[in-house]
């Protein structure tokens, strides 16, 4: 068996093992208890040597010989926890708590095991009991907050995290966790405030900068979003996510030269990401640089041959260059691959509309609506075609329904 190297003294402390090496006993003990202690001593030595399986066997033998002594179950349950064998740890915790229901360390440990097993109601009961006895227990508050997050009870999670922050206002992790809960509840400004608290103490915290930038995006604050993205890129120019997001932020802001520069930098970091070529192509289109845009759409399609949006971008270039036949050919190919994709029929219908081939366009919009009756683009396209074919009133009604 492969041996594992441990700082065994530290490990005992972390696991809560009751190490008895070197302890001399005074008085007379029954043979079974002495033997259980002998097995525990042997188990501790085996842990020191990294022989974890043999150690577990020895801990179990000690429990078998002294089943009513909680010390031996605490040792074994600590080893089960170390091995992440939570289902085996729980029965030991049960016995320990039956003997002493006020053992709040064991109650927290059992709650944590339940949490790991996905038994959230049982875990909540144990964490509740610990917090009722010790209202400021940090571990119980933290894991009950995590539990509430999993149970989709964000307000309760925020309450526990707020208690933690009140007790330890300098711990950034609690602010980050609460910010994530706020963000998950759509409370973007509260999330921004918490991330800002973290950044007051560490302005270069990449996790907080990234998350706050995305929160600024959600609150439609592009200037602040760019400030955080600039800080991230300045700190690490190879941060692909930050460079890519900044490119998209520049594109949304209409700063196409900066967007193109960032997409180019991102391509140098990850040359196999089709979205980077497509993003740069759309920015190039805004500058009416169809030659480079076409090259980038070609590359994006080469890397992701089933992405309809890339074909739509390339089709726009084909159509405006007077080569709509190539655009139709692209969508014919895609529709053969995905015949139930309503958006593809909408895109091809748009191309037919540009060619003023109203019958073909109308047929595609009808097909899209048969697949997706609520597709407002297909509805609008159908209305436009009807208007072009002379039925202006009916076309206008459909356009009104679409928008």
Assess whether 230 and 214 both reside in one domain: yes
Structural domain including 260 reads: 237-304
Question: What pLDDT shows up at residue 189?
Answer: 97
Domain-embedded: residue 54: no
pTM for this entry: 0.75
Question: What pLDDT shows up at residue 403?
Answer: 62
- The three-state secondary structure class of 215 is helix
HSE (side-chain half, CA atoms, 13 Å) at 100: 13
- The three-state secondary structure class of 383 is helix
Question: What pLDDT shows up at residue 402?
Answer: 61
In the predicted model, residues of the chain with pLDDT beneath 70 are 1-34, 392, 394-395, 397-400, 402-403
Looking at residue 376, which CATH number applies to its domain?
1.25.40.10
Q: How far is the C-alpha of 122 from the C-alpha of 133, rounded, in Å?
A: 17
Domain-embedded: residue 389: yes
Question: What pLDDT shows up at residue 337?
Answer: 87
pLDDT tens by residue, 155-198: 999 999 999 999 999 999 999 999 999 999 999 999 999 999 99
Helix, strand, coil percent content, the chain, rounded in steps of 5: 75, 0, 25
**Number of other CB atoms surrounding residue 299 within 10 Å:** 19
Question: What pLDDT shows up at residue 9?
Answer: 40
**Backbone region of residue 392 per phi and psi (left: phi > 0; alpha: psi in -120 to 50; beta: other values):** alpha
Assess whether 230 and 249 both reside in one domain: no
Question: What pLDDT shows up at residue 389?
Answer: 85
Assess whether 383 and 362 both reside in one domain: yes
Q: How far is the C-alpha of 71 from the C-alpha of 86, rounded, in Å?
A: 18
- Tally of domains in the chain: 3
Domain-embedded: residue 39: no
């Amino acid at each position: 068996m492969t041996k594992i190297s441990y700082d065994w003294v530290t490990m005992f402390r972390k696991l809560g093992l009751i190490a008895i090496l070197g302890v001399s006993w005074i008085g007379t003990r029954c043979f079974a208890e002495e033997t259980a202690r002998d097995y525990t001593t042997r188990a501790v030595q085996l842990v020191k040597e990294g022989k974890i399986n043999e150690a577990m066997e020895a801990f179990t033998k000690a429990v078998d010989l002294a089943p009513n002594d909680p010390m031996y179950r605490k040792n074994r349950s600590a080893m089960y926890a170390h091995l992440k064998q939570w289902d085996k740890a729980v029965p030991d915790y049960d016995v320990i708590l039956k003997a002493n229901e006020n053992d709040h360390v064991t109650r927290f440990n059992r709650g944590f095991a339940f949490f790991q097993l996905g038994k959230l109601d049982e875990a909540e009961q144990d964490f509740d009991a610990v917090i009722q006895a010790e209202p400021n227990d940090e571990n119980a508050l933290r894991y009950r907050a995590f539990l509430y997050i999993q149970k989709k009870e964000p307000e309760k999670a925020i309450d526990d995290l707020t208690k933690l922050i009140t007790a330890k206002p300098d711990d950034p992790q609690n602010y980050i966790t609460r910010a994530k809960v706020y963000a998950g509840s759509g409370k973007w400004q509260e999330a921004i405030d918490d991330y800002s608290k973290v950044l007051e103490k560490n302005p270069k915290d990449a996790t907080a900068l990234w998350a706050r930038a995305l929160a600024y995006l959600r609150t439609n604050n592009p200037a602040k979003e760019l400030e955080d993205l600039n800080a991230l890129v300045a700190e690490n120019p190879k941060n692909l996510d930050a460079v890519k997001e900044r490119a998209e932020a520049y594109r949304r802001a209409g700063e196409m030269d900066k967007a193109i520069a960032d997409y180019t930098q991102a391509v140098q970091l990850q040359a196999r990401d089709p979205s980077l070529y497509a993003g740069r192509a759309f920015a190039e289109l805004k500058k009416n640089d169809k030659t480079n845009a076409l090259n980038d759409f070609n590359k994006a399609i080469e890397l992701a041959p089933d992405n309809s949006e890339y074909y739509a971008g390339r089709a726009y270039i084909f159509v405006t260059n007077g080569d709509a036949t190539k655009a139709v050919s692209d969508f014919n190919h895609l529709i053969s691959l995905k015949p139930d994709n309503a958006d593809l029929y909408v895109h091809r219908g748009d191309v037919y509309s540009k060619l003023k081939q109203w019958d073909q366009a109308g047929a595609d919009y009808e097909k899209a609506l048969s697949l997706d009756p609520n597709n407002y683009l297909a509805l609008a396209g159908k209305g436009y075609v009807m208007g072009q074919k002379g039925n202006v009133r009916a076309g206008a009604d459909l356009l009104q329904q679409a928008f």
